[in-house]
Amino acid sequence: MLLTLRREILLPDCTHGVLFRDGAFECYTLEDTDRNLDTAMSWKEIMEKKFPGETAIPYGEYEVIINQSNRFKRLMPLLLSVPGFEGIRIHYGNSAADTSGCILVGAVRDDKTVLVSKYAYNNLFPMIRFATEHGKCFMKIER
C-alpha cells in the first residue's frame, strides 16, 4: 500500500495536507511547520534547519510499520528511517500543539486544525495494519 501525503497549505506554525491511499483520497493531515527539508539533504543540513518539536519531517518516502507506542500505550503506525527524527507516528490530534513532528489525520480541516480526527484515524489504522501484515506499506511525502 502506498500512502501519499501532499502538503498543500504551508503556514508559519502548521502545515495542511491531503492523504491519499493508493491514489484515492483518504483524509486531511496536519503537521508542524514545513521548513523545506528533504531526504536528499545531509543529516547536518536537516539538523541546522530543524526546530525540535516544531518541524515537519523531510519530503521523501518512508516505510510504515505497526508497533507499540510507549507514549500512547497501543499499537500505532510508525515511519522508519526519518533523517533527523525519531518516533514519527501517524495519529489523531487536532492542532500543531498535538504533534512533535508526527502526522495528524482528520476528516475535516479548518484554518489551523484537523477535526474528527479519531474517526479518520480509526478508519485508516486497520488499512495500514492489514497492509503491513500482508506485505509492506509506504508513505511518500510530496509538495
Q: Could you read off the pLDDT of 108-121 as tens digits, one per residue?
A: 999 999 999 999 99
- Give 12: exposed, middle or buried? Use CB within 10 Å, 0-12, 13-18, 19+: exposed
pTM comes to 0.96
pLDDT at 88: 97
Q: Could you read off the pLDDT of 31-44 as tens digits, one per residue?
A: 999 999 999 999 99
pLDDT at 3: 98
Q: Could you read off the pLDDT of 78-115 as tens digits, one per residue?
A: 999 999 999 999 999 999 999 999 999 999 999 999 99
Name the percent of the chain lying above pLDDT 90. 99
pLDDT at 56: 97
Average pLDDT over residues 123-143: 98
**57: Cβ–Cβ under 8 A, 6 or more apart, which residues?**
31, 37, 79, 82, 85, 88, 101, 103, 141
Average pLDDT over residues 5-25: 97
Looking at residue 39, what DSSP letter applies? T
pLDDT at 11: 96
Taking the CA atoms of residue 73, residue 75, residue 80 and residue 84 in that order, the dihedral angle to the nearest 10 degrees is -20
pLDDT at 24: 98
Residue 28 to residue 68: CA distance in whole angstroms:
24
